[in-house]
Amino acid sequence: MNSVFINGEVVDRANAKIDIEDRGYQFGDGIYEVIRVYGGNTFTMKEHMVRLYQSAEKMKLEIPYPEEELTAHLLKLIDSNQVKDGIVYLQVTRGVSARQHHFPSGDVIGSVVAYTKDFPVPSQQMELGVTAKLLEDIRWLRCDIKSLNLLGNLLAKEEAASEGHFEAILHRGDTVTEGSSSNAFMVKDGVIYTHPATNLILNGITRRVIEGLCRENTISFQEEAFLVRELLEADEVFIASTTSEVMPVIKIDEQTIGDGKPGPVTKRLQALFSERKREQSPVK
Ligand code: PMP
């Protein structure tokens, strides 16, 4: 089955139509979430939904359904498509109106679209580690909003990927911010460091799961910005996201990180994360 959710209805994907004057299409004037499904159950769905409504508030966008109702629609879609290991992509835009920069009048209703996709856990990369390229963070100053405007992220990812890298790790001046589609972490002397959740990064849900796991297992976790030089001299580096989970980075540009293999702290977190996936009680 390939059903999608569009403005209140679950329909076959071929029958889902978006107006060419949708503000998401014309301006990227919208927000989104990617929610993980493991074994048919959603993972940290509540946290993703809360972040969606927070992003909406930050850009004065009204989501046309209450959170509980939208969650129920998504669960129905997952069931209908019989997703096992995959994702739900959810997008809300400011709706359809004649092209103008300022917001449309209050009677224009936001467009809501969701679809599912199979997405296996990238086990091999998680076991072997991946490489990354360092690039200047050229994005805007509200990276805390999960907005559809991703051009800065796309340009970075493309440049890194075209050279065979898994991810671009971004820095503003000397300070490391995050990955182009992930949060970035380094380990030094047993302490995990990551950029604080300011306007310069997206406060990842995976990042928050990791923070919780560290707290519960007395692993030292510091929300403290670090420099490019410190990143390159770290004992371990990893990135984290909904689709990449805890992903070891073993080489950045020409610099091998640690001994060039996923390190013990990263591996421990991977194990704890897998455990959390198994024990998290499903929403449905
Ligand atoms: N930062 C950016 C820029 C991202 O695009 C993502 C993934 N969407 C993340 C961080 C990680 O967020 P999450 O763990 O919620 O997937």
CATH number of the structural domain 3-118: 3.30.470.10
Question: Residue with the nearest Cα to atom 13 of ligand 1?
Answer: 204
Q: Which of 90, 161, 89, 98 is nearest to 131 (CA)?
A: 161
Are 252 and 169 spatial neighbours (Cβ–Cβ below 8 Å)? yes
What are the residue ranges spanned by the domains of the chain? 3-118, 123-279
Instruction: Please report the atom of ligand 1 found closest to the CA of residue 201.
Output: 1
- Give the separation between CA 237 and CA 33, rounded to whole angstroms: 25
Most informative mutation of 181, 185, 245 for ligand 1 (most atoms within 8 A of CB): 181
Instruction: Please report the atom of ligand 1 found closest to the CA of residue 33.
Output: 8
Candidate list 146, 267, 277, 284, residue with the active-site label: 146
133 given a catalytic annotation: no
Ligand 1 centroid to 256 CA: how many Å? 24
CATH number of the structural domain 123-279: 3.20.10.10
Buried b (16+ CB within 10 A) or exposed e, 167-198: bbbbbeeebbbbbbbbbbbbbbeeebbbbebe
Ligand 1 centroid to 72 CA: how many Å? 23
Q: Examine domains 3-118 and 123-279 and report if their fold is the same.
A: no
Contacts of 148 by beta carbon, 8 Å cutoff, 6+ apart: 24, 28, 29, 30, 31, 32, 91, 93
pLDDT of residue 280: 76
pLDDT of residue 1: 66
177 lines ligand 1 (CB under 6 A): no
pLDDT of residue 246: 98
pLDDT of residue 117: 98
194 lines ligand 1 (CB under 6 A): no
Residue owning tokens 């509980």: 68
Q: Could you read off the pLDDT tens digit of each residue along the chain, which spans 284 residues? A: 699 999 999 999 999 999 999 999 999 999 999 999 999 999 999 999 999 999 999 999 999 999 999 999 999 999 999 999 999 999 999 999 999 999 999 899 999 999 999 999 999 999 999 999 999 999 999 999 999 999 999 999 999 999 999 999 999 999 999 999 999 999 999 999 999 999 999 999 999 999 999 999 999 999 999 999 999 999 999 999 999 999 999 999 999 999 999 999 999 999 999 999 998 755 54
pLDDT of residue 106: 86
Are 187 and 234 spatial neighbours (Cβ–Cβ below 8 Å)? yes
Dump pLDDT digits (tens) for 92-147: 999 999 999 999 998 999 999 999 999 999 999 999 999 999 999 999 999 999 99
178 lines ligand 1 (CB under 6 A): yes
Question: Residue with the nearest Cα to atom 4 of ligand 1?
Answer: 181
